[in-house]
A and B are shown apart, each in its own frame.
Chain A
C-alpha cells in the first residue's frame, strides 16, 4: 500500500498570501496524483489531477507540480473561500487508492 504523507497538518495564512502544501508518496506514483479541496459539510472538490492539470472551473491561482514521490499544491494568493482542508490522492498503485491525512488551511 502506498502511504501518502501531507505536510504541514495545519497552515495559517493571511488573505492574499501564498500557500504551499506538500504531499509525499512512499513509492513512486508517476503523475497519478490528485488534489482536493473540502469545505465543511461538502464533498471533496477536485482541483488538480495528473499532478498538474487544473480541473474545469478551478481558478488559475491553484497550481500543482511534482512527479514520482514529491508533490506540491500552491495557492498563489489566498482568497477567503480557499480556507478549507486539502487532500492529496494517489491513483497509480491500487487497490487500494490512498489519501493523505489532509492539510487544514486556516486564516492567520
Chain B
C-alpha cells in the first residue's frame, strides 16, 4: 500500500540548515508529484513546496522561496527538502504528501486519494 515516511527532523539553531527526507513505497516518484506541508505548533496547515512527477517543475511558498530546495532521487524512492537560513517561524511538523493525480508522458489521471506521512518535527531554537 501507499506509504510515506519522513525523517531528519530535529532541533537546529536559527540561521543553520537542515535536510528532511521522505521515503515512499507503494508507488513510483516517476508517476506522482510530492508536496511538503507544514504545521506550526497550535496552527493550521501550510503548503511549502512541490516537485512534479517528472522532476522538472518545483514550486515554493513565498515564505520559503530562496531558502528551501526540494529534490528527489527516484532510484532511492526518496524526496528531500533542504532548508537553509532557518528562523524560529520555520518551527513546525513537516509532512510529505503524495499528489492525488498520477501522470505519465504529460497526461494526468483524475485525482484520487491524498496520502500523507506521519510528519517530522523541525524545531528552530537557540
Contact = CB atoms under 8 A, between A and B. Distances in A.
A95 to B, nearest CB: 4
A8 B126 CA distance: 38
B114 A43 contact: no
Interface string A35-54: 00000000110100110000
Interface stretch (B14-22, B44-52, B72-80): B44-52
A87 interface: yes
Interface in A65-108: 87, 89, 91, 94-102
B92 to A, nearest CB: 13
Nearest to B112: A49
Contacts of A96: 47, 59, 61
A3 interface: no
A46 B111 contact: no
B9 interface: no
A73 to B, nearest CB: 15
| Interface class of chain B by DSSP | strand
Contacts, number: 55
Interface residues of A, number: 21
B30 interface: no
A43 to B, nearest CB: 5
Interface in B73-126: 93, 95, 99-100, 111-119
Given A49-B100, A49-B111, A50-B111, A95 B116 contact: no
Contacts of A43: 93, 95, 116-119
Interface class of chain A by DSSP: loop
Interface of A: 32, 34, 43-44, 46, 49-50, 55-56, 87, 89, 91, 94-102
Interface of B: 35, 37, 44-47, 50, 59-61, 93, 95, 99-100, 111-119
24 contacts: A34-B100, A43-B93, A43-B119, A44-B95, A46-B115, A49-B111, A49-B113, A50-B111, A50-B112, A55-B113, A87-B44, A91-B99, A91-B100, A91-B111, A94-B47, A94-B50, A95-B59, A95-B61, A97-B35, A97-B47, A98-B47, A99-B47, A101-B44, A102-B44
